Structure 1
Amino acid sequence: MTTLFDTGVSLFFLIKEEVADSIGVRRLDIFDNDTSIVFNGVKLPMEEGILDSVEIADFKFYNIPVGIYKFDPISNIPDSLVNHNHERKESLEYFSNSMSIVMGYPAMFLMGKIIVDFENNVLSFPDDSLIQTNNNIEPNLFAYTTALFTRLYINDIPFTAHVDFGSTSYMQIHSSFYEKNKCKIPVKSVADKKPLNISMIHNTWLNIPYEIPENPILKFNSKIVLAKEDNVIEIYSLSGQSVPGTFDGHIGYPFFRNLGKKILLDFDNMRIDIIE
């Protein structure tokens, strides 16, 4: 089955109710009729279950806890963002269908090492003997509470970023981080800014006021990251979109795609490395 690969999901797997029932996911006993979870302060209809076994490439795992969701992940997106935009509508429908099964980062941990080949849109799971790793290099990937983080630098300022492969944004800087460091992060005084609308499974924010840094210098793994013209860095308040107080912003799928043709997610040594 097609599975969405999302480091921003803290469950082993997130499965649509109809799919969970069709593959025989065992639902756990419900206490106090509570069939919901709280996501960033918002209750969403979901149950917990157990997947007897799952096979991914050469891996087979047993008794995996999963979340069973009962809502349309794009239901909160207003019609005004979809109507008269056929391409966007098709994209959202594809996303909704892709979310039938979502693999979260706890399942990725079980696999050890994952190579993401952006050029060919392929995930592979290499044998340790085929990957040369230096165990003396310090980790640059960290798990805290229910999220993954990494460290990079913007204008030589340390920046703790939430690693979210499920995000289509290149980089988002929390306004609180910017306020503490704005003397070192100039913003464009005049910028042709498109409207910023953010949709997540629990809410949608429209016409968010934001700023764009002026020629920021990004460093990751001690190397300068050259952003492409369409890789926009946005500064705005991330309140309501994330666990408060835990990090300085997000980096999404476009950020990692821009790093190189292939990257290694090494959960054995807790590192993100560029292969080529």
Structure 2
Amino acid sequence: MPLIEIKSAFKGYGSPGLRTEVLKNINLSIEEGEFVVIVGYSGSGKSTLINLISGLVKPDSGVATISGEIITGPGPDRGLVFQNYSLLPWLTVEENIALAVDEVFRGWTPAQRKEHVQKYIDMVKLGHAAHKLPKELSGGMRQRVAVARTLSMNPKVLLLDEPLSALDALTRATIQDEISDIWRQNLTTVLWITNDPDEALLLADRVIPLLPTSPATLGEPMLVDLERPRDRKTLNHDPRFKQLRSQLISTLLDAKGRMKPKTSVKLSLPDILPEDLTTVNSLRFLSRTGPRRRSDNKREEVEVAA
């Protein structure tokens, strides 16, 4: 049985008369320990899809399940990492992580919880910053805190909603590698949302395109049969990587192209004739009350002697 399963899910927002349909006929199956990446354009409904699994929203029709149980709301078995870190600014790194640990593991002793917090601080290599506030950290360090806080809950599923979109390219590459290492160590089931095809192929076991139809739906999954651990420098010269990348981009572009609106517009020339400004006499138009119009030209017939 798959750990996560979505069957025939539809989701939209708004009142019946002004409703916007976002997702249609979503069918998704994720096995335990699998690393799955959903790739799609911005605004295509990726966050709505991950929110169906996190329990933050419910499908209008269809069903979403985890371990065979219907998802009715958020729970500690699903840890969600947001784009904007979502750290409490008045708490230190240690305190932000402890907030989650204290909530999930209430039966543990204070010493057990403190040791658990320290384990995940060390895992994301932030021991030197444990007592710093978020404002004292770089963007990459804040994102590491968010990942550590989520992992410290020992969730069955780690959900990442474009977690690196706000980072510069070098920091982004570093965090990609660190999260990939953490996944290999813990074998947590991961669902990652991104709009970067290269990021998807670097990290995933399977990549699934979210097609920008209206409403959006999932395309055919792509098995990423590239050897792990993956090195981005090596991948750039790997024929199989190039093939998968081309296939993924073509799938998204083709779907986008089919959605371009086609309209027929009838254009009419304005009812105004241009002025001849090549001679001084042409400035007589300044004494007129308005421009010369095509409709003012009257057709006259004259007889000309042969």
TM range (shorter): under 0.3
Structure in which a larger fraction of residues adopt helix: 2
Structure in which a larger fraction of residues adopt strand: 1
TM-score by length of 2: 0.22
